[in-house]
Structure 1
Amino acid sequence: MDIRQLALIEPARAAVRSLETARASVAAVHELRDGRLDVASMPSQAVEPLTTMVRAFSGRYPGVSVAVKAAFTSRDVVDMVRTGAAELGLLAVPGPLPEGDVVAHSVGEQRFVLVVRGGVDGAPFVGRQTVKCEELEGQRLIVGQRGTGMRAYVDGLRERGITFSVAAETEHRVSVLPLVLAGVGVAVLAESWRGLAERAGARVLDIEPRTTLRIGLVSRRSGLSPAARAFVTTALDSSTPGN
């Protein structure tokens, strides 16, 4: 083998290695052996149903990391998906799911519940499992920021003539439960908080009449990564009754 042949062999071998590496990378993407998926979510929906969705997805594709990004309102979620800050988004709205810039998949409903501190002296609604919305008259409420479902609900109470005082207003949803447990007030939250609240020692009462939020998983209209497409499929499967 002369020097000219040797000079051709090394570049050829390098080209083959590069091609094999590229093929392996493509296979890893399509088989979802690794990678990362960004999902924007409102706080309550990050508790549920996102936990169930991520658990189901991670069970099928353990090599793909799911990065959950915070969004405080449904508009925030849509904007993050539309601009590419996240591929997918999970939101809750009292009315129809958003259309236009994004595709919205319905993944269920969550009712509003009232979270109160445990059965101690002076705690409201002791021994109750349900409460009528009119009974929130005169209560001290812990409320979220405008643009959230929980805030829209309590603002709607005022519009109906039900008066109450705002004990605290917080943008940090994780602070609501500690404030309730400390006796600062009661809070209207989505039912996704029920398990955490009860384990922490709070009581959760159904509010009548039943009022719900529609939960949607949103995505761009085109150009989704294989991971995002797989997540949508898995999420829709996990949200189907009986699964």
Structure 2
Amino acid sequence: MERRQLEYFLALVEHGGFTNAARVLRVAQPSLSHAIAALETELGGPLFHRLPHGAVLTAAGAALVEPARQVGRDLATATASVREVLGLSGGRLDIVAQTTLAVDPLAAMVGRFARQHPKVGIRVTDPERGSEVGHLVRTGQCELGLVNAAVPTPELDGIELAEQHLLLVLPPRRPESEPLPRPGSGPVPVRLADLAALRLVATPDGTEIRDVLAAALLEIGLTLNVAVETAHRAMIVPLVLAGAGASLLPRSMAEEAAGKGAVLCATEPALSYRGRLVWRSGPRSPAADRFVAMTREHYAAR
């Protein structure tokens, strides 16, 4: 079994057919077909059902996916380690992170790392749910993951990060009837009971900030009043500025909104979330080792 065969196999898995995979790999389709057929002969059975409009994994093919990804990741780690010993720079770091954590604190973490190691390529992947982070790291699709600390990540090593506080972001203009701070009135805290009465712009159930707020309100017997639900997080600040509702955001996003005219308030009690950086046990690439070391030094919970 050759590395090239596994790379071709995984490309077929990811792109769903020989034509698409050959285009992405920049190889001739007959060469791809021959390599997969040779792999199937070596393993003793078909890995794909060949269909008119694509290729679907057989049970045997599905069993190969995770080991193939792990082999690919381990080979990349070995290559990067050798280059590090030889004094070469470069390499790649793949991180999967829930969106809110990607905004704060991961953006600052990646920025610090990129300044120190400008020749390392970094890719950040965004899953739909926090539960997917552990899966993507365990299967070798990403080397590091950043997940809400409340999400279980069995079989993974990790570091808990410092607490991140959330701020309430209100539209620049609101009805006079709302018993909340007006622009220019100062950072008056908003009680959770008052927050529950607001029309909110929120992400779907199962996303980290919505879960934090829903759990806090549930403790006092209240529920969310969601006016607009969107999975497009880039819409949240524009929706707040347009008067669609208020939102709870990480400090960096909240301060950006304030610069555009939104009103910021703390909550009483304060609401926060905490991330955990996770990775598989065993050898890591030099880039991942340095990122973990930097995280321990600058961002870990004290």
TM over 0.5: yes
1:3 corresponds in structure 2 to none
1:225 corresponds in structure 2 to 285
For 1:25 and 1:151, how far apart are their aligned partners in 2? 39
Amino acid at match of 1:144: T
Residues 57 and 235, structure 1, Cα contact 8 Å, conserved in 2: no
State the number of aligned residues. 216
Structure 1 residue matching 2:266: 3-state secondary structure: strand
TM superposition shift of 1:208:
1.0
Q: 1:225 to 1:135 in 2, by over 3 A?
A: same
Residues 110 and 192, structure 1, Cα contact 8 Å, conserved in 2: no
Residue 137 (1) aligns with residue 196 (2): yes
> Which of 40, 47, 58 matches 2:103?
47
Structure 1 residue matching 2:222: 3-state secondary structure: coil
2:258 corresponds in structure 1 to 198
Seq. identity, %: 33
Residue 122 (1) aligns with residue 182 (2): no
1:113 corresponds in structure 2 to 167
Amino acid at match of 2:196: E
Residue 73 (1) aligns with residue 129 (2): yes
TM superposition shift of 1:216:
1.1
Unaligned 5+ runs, structure 2: 1-78
> Which of 68, 89, 100 matches 2:154?
100
When normalised by structure 2's length, the TM-score is 0.64
Q: 1:78 to 1:61 in 2, by over 3 A?
A: same
Amino acid at match of 2:106: L
Amino acid at match of 1:224: R
TM superposition shift of 1:220:
1.0
> Which of 187, 203, 211 matches 1:152?
211
Structure 1 residue matching 2:162: 3-state secondary structure: strand
Which has the higher mean CA deviation after the structures are superposed, 104-113 or 121-130?
121-130
Q: 1:100 to 1:240 in 2, by over 3 A?
A: closer
Q: Could you say which structure has the greater relative contact order, defined with CA pairs below 8 angstroms and 6 or more residues apart? A: 1
Unaligned 5+ runs, structure 1: 1-23
For 1:154 and 1:212, how far apart are their aligned partners in 2? 9
1:173 corresponds in structure 2 to 233
Q: 1:217 to 1:32 in 2, by over 3 A?
A: farther
Q: CA RMSD of the aligned region, Å?
A: 2.6
Q: 1:77 to 1:26 in 2, by over 3 A?
A: closer
TM superposition shift of 1:29:
3.6
2:11 corresponds in structure 1 to none
TM superposition shift of 1:69:
0.7
2:83 corresponds in structure 1 to 28
Superposed CA deviations along residues 185-227 of structure 1, whole A, max 9, x for unmatched, are 1112233423322223222211111232121111111231111
For 1:232 and 1:199, how far apart are their aligned partners in 2? 33
2:29 corresponds in structure 1 to none
When normalised by structure 1's length, the TM-score is 0.78
Amino acid at match of 2:83: A
Residues 98 and 104, structure 1, Cα contact 8 Å, conserved in 2: no
Residues 139 and 185, structure 1, Cα contact 8 Å, conserved in 2: yes
Residues 134 and 153, structure 2, Cα contact 8 Å, conserved in 1: no
Residues 45 and 192, structure 1, Cα contact 8 Å, conserved in 2: no
TM superposition shift of 1:166:
1.6
